[in-house]
Amino acid sequence: MDGGQGFRDFKAFNMTLVGKNWWRMHRNPDLLLSRVYQSVYFPRGDLWNARKGGRPNYAWSSLWKTRWLFDEESVWRVGNGKTIRVSDNRWLPQGSPLVYREEEASTLGVVHVSNLMLPGRMCWNADLIRHIFWPPTAEGILKIPLPMVPRDDVMAWPHTINGEYTSKSGYVVARNKVLHGTSSSSLALQVPPVVWKVLWSTHTLPRCRELIWRGCLKILPTRGALCSRGLDVDDLCPWCAVQPKTAAHEIFFCPVVKRWWFASSLGLRLDDEMEFHEFVAEFFSRADEGCISRFCELCYIFWEARNRLVFDGVVHDGVVVFASCLACQPTSKCFSCPSSSGAASFGFIARNENGEVLAAATKPAMACLSPLLAEAEAFRWNMGLALELGFRVVMMERDCKALHDAWFKKDKGCSYLFSVISDCNDLASSFASFGFYFVRRTGNKVVDLLAKHAGDFGDSVRRRSPLLHAVCP
C-alpha cells in the first residue's frame, strides 16, 4: 500500500463495505431491506432512480454516498436491450467511446440497444451498427455476446468474472478513484467526445486514426506503459534515454521528436509535456481540417520511426523521416495493432464410445470480448452442434479450467460469461444426459488443430469428410 493505511484507505474501505448493501438491494429487490427503502425513497421505479430525499436517515445517507461508485463503474449487460438507451446508459465494452452519427441514428429509430438487433432475432444488425458507430466502437459492440433467448438487461459490476460486486474488487476501484481520481475503465470518458468526432470525420488513413485513438486511451505500447504493466523492459525513452513524464513523450514531447514537429509543415512548437489526449484535444480545437489530417499522418510517421529504432535499431535522422513524410506511404509493419478484433476460431469434434469420429466442424474468426468469453461461446456453439446432430448422450471435454469452474459454480453471476453459460444450461437440459469434463490441453489437440485451420475449412459441419482425414489420420 503506497503511503500506508491512511485516512484515504479507510474511506475507500468503508465505502466498499457499505457498497455491498447497495449491490444486494440492486440484485434482490424483494429483500426486506430493499422494500423498506423502496417505500420511502423510490416508491415508483427502481433503486437507480432513487432520490436522496430531504431528510434521509443515517443508513440511507451512507448508502447514498457509495452510489457514485456504481454510477461510474457498473455497466449494463445486454440481454434483450429493451431497457438500455443507446446514448444515456453505460453499456459499451471497455475502451469503446460512444461516438456515433446521432442524427442518422434518430432517423433510423435507434433509441434502445434492442433497435440495434435484427428484428425478432437475438443477433446484432452488423450493417446498421457499422453504419452508425465509429468503427472501433462498432467492432466492440459486435463482440458483445447476445443470449440465444431474450433475457432481461442487467446492471453488472465489470471488475469481477461473474459480474457481482465484492468488497475486495470495490476496494481496489474505490481506492484508485479516491487516490488518483481515475479508474482504468473511465479513461474513455476523460477524452472529450468532440475529439472522437473530429478524428472520425478527418480524412486520413485508418492506421493513423487508430494510432491516435490508442494514444488517447493510453493503450499504445510505449516503454513507460509496458513498464507500468509490469513488463521487464527499461522505461527510458528510446530517443533521448530520459525517463519520460507522459505517455505522449515518445510521439510529441521528446526533444528529438519536438524538432521534427517544429520543422514539419505544421511548424508546431511543443513546450510543456501534457497527456496524449489533452494535447490531441487542444490541437483539434485549434486546427483546421487539413492540418488535422496532416497531424494524424505525422503522428504515424514519427511513431513508425520510433518503432524502427526500438525493434530494428534503425536510427533515423530528420531527413529520412521527412522523406517518408513526403512520400507519405509508410510501409513497415512494425506497428501491428495487437489484433484489435480479438478474433478466435472454434473447433469441434465428436467421437462415439469406441473413439470413432462421428463429426467435426470449424468456425472461423469470431470476435470476442475476452479469451474466457471466447471459450464460453465455443462451448455454446459446440452444444448447439451436438443437439443439431441429434446426439442424446453427450460428454463434453474442454481444456479451459476457468470455464469448467464457472460451469460448476453454484452462485451464478450477471456477467456476459454467465449469460452465455445460462444458454448452455438450457441446451444441456435438451440432452438425455450431459457431462462436462476438464481435460489437459494435450488431450484436446485435435480440436486445437481444427480451430487453427478454421480459416481454411470455413463455417460448416462435416461428417466423415476429407477434413477428418486431414486431422485424424
| Strands, sheet with 343-351, edge to edge from the N-terminal-most edge strand | 343-351, 357-367, 460-462
CB of 237 to Zn ion, least distance (A): 3
CA distance 384 to 155: 28
Question: For residues 33 and 309, which CB has a smaller minimum distance to Zn ion in the complex?
Answer: 309
Segment near Zn ion (CB under 5 A), from 98-106, 193-201, 251-259, 424-432?
251-259
CB of 308 to Zn ion, least distance (A): 16
Contact 251, 303 (CB under 8 A): yes
- What x/- string results for residues 213 through 242 when contact with Zn ion is judged by CB under 5 A? ------------------------x-xx--
Residue whose C-alpha is closest to residue 304's, from 282, 288, 320: 320
CB of 343 to Zn ion, least distance (A): 35
CA distance 200 to 437: 47
Element (H, E) at 345: strand 343-351
Question: For residues 240 and 387, which CB has a smaller minimum distance to Zn ion in the complex?
Answer: 240
CB of 254 to Zn ion, least distance (A): 3
- Listing DSSP states for 38-60 in one string gives HHHH-SSS-GGG----SS--HHH
Cα 168–Cα 171–Cα 175 angle in degrees, nearest 5: 155
Question: For residues 254 and 366, which CB has a smaller minimum distance to Zn ion in the complex?
Answer: 254
By CB under 5 A, the count of residues binding Zn ion is 4
CB of 110 to Zn ion, least distance (A): 45
* Bridging pattern class, strands 154-156 and 343-351: unpaired
CB of 292 to Zn ion, least distance (A): 24
CB of 372 to Zn ion, least distance (A): 38
Question: For residues 236 and 266, which CB has a smaller minimum distance to Zn ion in the complex?
Answer: 236
Q: Which amino acid is at 150?
A: P
Query: Torsion angle of alpha carbons 195, 200, 201, 204, nearest 10°?
Result: 110
CB of 267 to Zn ion, least distance (A): 21
Question: For residues 183 and 222, which CB has a smaller minimum distance to Zn ion in the complex?
Answer: 222
Segment near Zn ion (CB under 5 A), from 59-67, 221-229, 253-261, 411-419?
253-261
Q: Which amino acid is at 276?
A: F
Ramachandran bin of 112, using left for φ above 0, alpha for ψ from -120 to 50, beta for the remaining angles: beta
Q: Which amino acid is at 206?
A: P
Contact 363, 470 (CB under 8 A): no
CA distance 143 to 340: 11
Instruction: Name the residue with cell 474505490.
Output: 174
CA distance 333 to 122: 38
CB of 272 to Zn ion, least distance (A): 15
Element (H, E) at 406: helix 401-408
Question: Which one among 116, 254, 374, 394 touches Zn ion, defined by CB under 5 A?
Answer: 254
- Cα 320 versus chain centre, distance: 37
Segment near Zn ion (CB under 5 A), from 155-163, 247-255, 406-414, 451-459?
247-255
CA distance 325 to 328: 5
Question: For residues 196 and 276, which CB has a smaller minimum distance to Zn ion in the complex?
Answer: 276
Question: For residues 165 and 302, which CB has a smaller minimum distance to Zn ion in the complex?
Answer: 302
Question: For residues 44 and 269, which CB has a smaller minimum distance to Zn ion in the complex?
Answer: 269
CA distance 458 to 61: 57
CB of 240 to Zn ion, least distance (A): 3
- What x/- string results for residues 180 through 219 when contact with Zn ion is judged by CB under 5 A? ----------------------------------------
Segment near Zn ion (CB under 5 A), from 25-33, 151-159, 252-260, 421-429?
252-260
CB of 257 to Zn ion, least distance (A): 7
DSSP-assigned beta bridge partners for residue 349: 360
Question: For residues 128 and 256, which CB has a smaller minimum distance to Zn ion in the complex?
Answer: 256
Question: For residues 233 and 328, which CB has a smaller minimum distance to Zn ion in the complex?
Answer: 233
Segment near Zn ion (CB under 5 A), from 189-197, 217-225, 250-258, 409-417?
250-258
Contact 380, 427 (CB under 8 A): yes
Question: For residues 103 and 317, which CB has a smaller minimum distance to Zn ion in the complex?
Answer: 317
Binding site for Zn ion (CB under 5 A): 237, 239-240, 254
